[in-house]
């Protein structure tokens, strides 16, 4: 198939290259200039509108505002190919997903929310978990494009907002797990128990699972080079807060991790991995200390 792709950051590039390897013709556009040798096999186009001249188009932009500016304000839905299906893989707000669904319906285009779980290296190996929601016909039509990208496609129904709410909930719960491990370290290191030994204990008993395994290793090694930047994680916590406020609920743990990420960004470490908030908790929330060169981050 001819596929358009808008957004060639680290995740978008990995996804676009995986689609090329699967035999698809990928025409991509990015807001900043991308070197052709960084995305071999991908055809770089001059305008985002060119990417919409396809059978299906993926969007992997940073947030609601970026999609609004690049896609909506530029009138790309009105000028898109008839019967095109737009697959939004970005992490966006529940409210914006509903707005996008309506706008695509008005334009006579298909729309699928398909946020992803996984980092760029996972995308490069075609092992993402993709949360897909939208009209059954649209999801079925683009599923062959999702398969080479994914370990599994999780079909969450016909309301696109379900996929976005699920993605925000997943990220929220990972942030909570990071903070929980950090607070566990505060208690156990106070009596001289090495954090590696503590994590071996919890992983072997109560808290096995990918998030605990991955982030306990980062906390142990104090290795905070970004897989998912703290500033982007804060954006997701803000979107989760907006969603909870929209149903009249306050989520106390969400508020706590949002505050932790805010402190990390105020301390000047917003470009580090979001697990940096664990280091700040362990250090006593001292933002100045957390931003010093003695963070001992590793590549």
Distance of CA 36 to the CA centre of its chain: 24
Residue 118: closest CA among 130, 134, 101? 130
Contact 156, 166 (CB under 8 A): yes
Distance of CA 99 to the CA centre of its chain: 20
Residue 255: closest CA among 269, 267, 268, 238? 238
Structure tokens at 251: 């989520």
Contact 177, 215 (CB under 8 A): yes
Structure tokens at 225: 């080079």
Catalytic residue among 135, 155, 167, 272: 167
Q: How many CB atoms lie within 10 A of CB 65?
A: 11
Structure tokens at 146: 């999702």
Q: Three-state SS for 111?
A: strand
- How far lies 12's CA from each of 48, 73, 105, in Å? 14, 21, 25
* DSSP single-letter state for residue 229: B
167 is catalytic: yes
Catalytic site positions:
167
């Amino acid at each position: 198939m001819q596929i358009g792709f808008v957004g060639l950051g680290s995740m978008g590039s990995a996804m676009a290259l995986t689609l090329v390897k699967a035999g698809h013709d990928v025409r991509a556009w990015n807001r900043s200039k991308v070197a052709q040798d960084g995305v071999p096999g991908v055809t770089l186009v001059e305008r985002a509108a060119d990417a919409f001249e396809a059978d299906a188009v993926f969007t992997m932009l940073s947030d609601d505002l970026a999609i609004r500016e690049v896609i909506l304000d530029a009138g790309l839905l009105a000028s898109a190919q008839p019967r095109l299906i737009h697959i939004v893989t970005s992490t966006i707000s529940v409210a914006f997903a509903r707005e996008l669904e309506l706008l695509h319906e008005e334009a006579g285009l298909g729309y699928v929310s398909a946020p992803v779980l996984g980092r760029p290296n996972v995308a490069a190996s075609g092992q993402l978990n993709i949360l897909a929601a939208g009209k059954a016909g649209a999801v079925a039509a683009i599923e062959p494009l999702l398969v080479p990208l994914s370990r599994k496609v999780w079909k969450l129904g016909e309301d696109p907002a379900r996929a976005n709410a699920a993605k925000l909930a997943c990220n929220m719960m990972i942030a909570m797990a990071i903070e929980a491990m950090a607070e566990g370290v505060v208690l156990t290191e106070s009596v001289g128990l090495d954090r590696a030994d503590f994590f071996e204990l919890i992983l072997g008993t109560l808290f096995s699972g990918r998030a605990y395994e991955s982030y306990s290793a980062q906390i142990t090694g104090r290795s905070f080079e970004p897989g998912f930047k703290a500033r982007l994680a804060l954006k997701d916590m803000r979107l989760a807060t907006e969603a909870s406020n929209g149903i009249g609920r306050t989520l106390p743990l969400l508020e706590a991790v949002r505050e932790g990420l805010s402190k990390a960004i105020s301390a000047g470490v917003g470009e580090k991995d979001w697990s940096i908030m664990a280091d700040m908790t362990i250090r006593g929330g001292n933002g100045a200390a957390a931003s010093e060169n003695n963070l001992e981050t590793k590549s």
